[in-house]
Structure 1
Amino acid sequence: MDRVAVIRERLEQTFAPTHLVVRDDSHRHAGHAGARDGRGHFSVELASEAFRGQAPLARHRAVYAAMGDLMQTDIHALAIDARLPEDTR
């Protein structure tokens, strides 16, 4: 399974998002020192009721927690846009 699919699966299982976009931005960081070890740069947009009552920092921490070991093995950088369903653009 590719990394985008694994990220998507973990986010879907953890947050049951009403909106989810996962992008692999690694091509934009070719040659970047942090990407030399093969880990990638990704961005996620997700909206979930699970974020209700959480401050932005808590939402980001929850997303990082959902990524678990991927943060050590597959993900070098993760840009996160985590919001409530009614805040979907």
Structure 2
Amino acid sequence: MVSADYIQNVITSTLACEHIQVLGDDGTHFEAVIVSPEFSGRNRVQRHQLVYNALGDRMRAEIHALSMKTLSPEEWAQQQG
């Protein structure tokens, strides 16, 4: 069983993040908001692939479901008003 903090640390160790929040308390289902300059100019599928690559085999073995909202810093700034 993994924690939200563990997932957050794994993602940030591979992907440059300006903001990241991972929630989930059952050890297998998680939600994440990830803001990275690496998402700029990429579509949603490409962004999710970057996150899946950061997590590697953990997506198959340890994490049952990860719902993601992936934003570029510009998109994040717009949402924050």
TM-score, with structure 1 as normaliser: 0.75
Contact 1:25 1:43 in 2 (8 A): no
User: Which amino acid in structure 2 is aligned with residue 81 of structure 1?
Assistant: K
Partner of 1:84: 72
Q: What is the RMSD computed on CA atoms of the aligned residues?
A: 1.6
User: TM-score when scaled to structure 2?
Assistant: 0.81
Residues 37, 73 of structure 2: 8 Å contact kept? yes
Return structure 1 stretches of 4+ with deviation > 3 angstroms.
none
Aligned length: 76
Q: Percent identity?
A: 33
From the CA coordinates, give the structure whose radius of gyration is larger.
1
1:44 is matched with: 32
Counterpart in 2 of 1:73?
61
Equivalent residue runs for 1:3-82 within 5 Å: 3-24=3-24, 26=26, 40-82=28-70
Structure 1 gap ranges (5+): 27-38
